[in-house]
Structure 1
Amino acid sequence: MEKVVIIGGGYAGIYALRELVKNKNIKITLIDKHTFHNLQPEVYDLIANKSNIADVTIDLTTLCLGFNHNYLEYKNLKVRKIDQESKKIFTEEEEIVEFDYLIMAAGTRTFFPPQIPGLNNAHDIKKLHWAMFFKQSFENQLFKKIQDEAKKCDDTHIVVVGAGLSGVEIAAEMAYNSKMFFQRGNFSCDNLKISLVSSSDTILPGLTPELISISHKRLKSLGINVITNTKLQKCEDGYAHLSNGTKIYNSFLIFTGGVEANKITEELDVSKNPKGQIIVNEFMQSDKDPKIFAIGDAAEIKNKKGEIMPPNVTIARISGTNAGKNILRMIDKKKLVKCDPKLDGILIALGGKYAAGNIADLFHVKGRIAYEIKKYVFSSYRKPLLGLIKTGYSKLKKMA
Structure 2
Amino acid sequence: MKTIVIAGGGYSGIHLLKGLKKEFKNMIGKEIQIILIDRNRYHFRKVLLFKEIIQPSDLEIPYEEYCGESTEFIQGEVLSVQKDENNLLILREGKHECVPYDYLIIALGSEIREVSAELGGISLRNIESAQMIRKQIFEKLNEQSGKRLLNISIVGAGITGIETAASIADWLSRETGFLHNIVLINSEDRLLPQLPETAANKVEKQLGKLGIRVEQGKRVERYANGQIEFKNHPAIPADICIWTNGMIPNPLIRKLEFKTDCKGSVIVNSFYQIEGEINIYALGDNALIRDRKTGEVAGMTCKEAIDQAGRLSKIMKQDLKGKQKLSHKHHFDFYCISLGSEKGIVWMKPLGLNFFITGRLGGKIRKLTWDLASIIRR
**One-letter code of the match for 1:351?**
G
SS of structure 1 residue aligned to 2:357: strand
Alignment of 1:103 with 2:69, yes or no, is no
The equivalent of 1:270 in structure 2 is: 258
Query: CA shift at 1:275, angstroms?
Result: 1.5
Residues 334 and 10 of structure 1: CA distance in aligned 2, closer, same or farther (over 3 Å): same
Distance 1:31 1:131, change over 3 A: farther
In 2, distance between residues paired with 1:127 and 1:44?
A: 9
Give per-residue Cα distances to partners, 1:42-73, cap 9 Å, x unaligned: 33344333xx533x3321123212xx51xx21
Distance change in 2, residues 1:108/1:122 (3 Å): farther
- Equivalent pair of 1:82/1:267 in contact (CA under 8 Å): no
**1:174 and 2:174 equivalent?**
no
Task: Tell me: CA distance 1:91–1:239, structure 2 relative to 1, closer, same or farther (3 Å).
Answer: farther
Give the match for residue 226 of structure 1: 214
What corresponds to 1:89 in structure 2?
Answer: 88
CA distance in 1, matches of 2:60, 2:258: 32
8 A Cα contact 2:155 2:185, kept in partner:
yes
Secondary structure, counterpart of 2:95 in structure 1? coil
Counterpart position of 2:133: 134
CA distance change for structure 1 residues 206 and 89 in 2, over 3 Å: closer, same or farther? same
Aligned length, in residue pairs? 365
Per-residue CA distance 1:282-312 (angstroms, 9 max, x = gap): 1111112122211111112222300112211
Aligned partner of 2:259: which letter?
A: S
1:63 alignment counterpart: 66
Give the SS at the match of 2:272.
coil
Please point out which of 314, 317, 323 is paired with 2:303. 314
Aligned residue identity for 1:234: R
- State the shift of 1:344 in Å: 5.1
* Partner deviation per Cα, 1:164-222 (whole Å, 9 max, x = no partner): 11111111111111111233xxxxxx344322111111122221222211111122222
Is there any run of 5+ residues in structure 1 with no aligned partner, and where? 184-189, 388-400
1:1-400 to structure 2, matched below 5 A, reads 1-21=1-21, 22=24, 23-24=27-28, 25-49=31-55, 52-54=56-58, 56-65=59-68, 68-69=69-70, 72-92=71-91, 93-96=94-97, 97-112=99-114, 118-119=118-119, 122-142=121-141, 144-145=142-143, 149-150=145-146, 153=147, 156-183=150-177, 190-237=178-225, 239-303=227-291, 304-343=293-332, 345-361=334-350, 362=353, 363-381=355-373, 385=376
Unaligned runs of 5+ in 2: none
CA drift of 1:265 comes to 0.5
How high is the TM-score relative to the length of structure 1? Answer: 0.83
Higher-strand-fraction structure: 2
The percent identity for this pair of structures is 25
Q: Distance in 1 between matches of 2:78 and 2:221?
A: 34
Following superposition, the deviation at residue 138 of structure 1 comes to 3.2
CA distance in structure 2 between the aligned counterparts of 1:273 and 1:337, rounded to whole angstroms: 24
Give the AA of the match of 1:374: R
Give me the CA root mean square deviation.
2.5
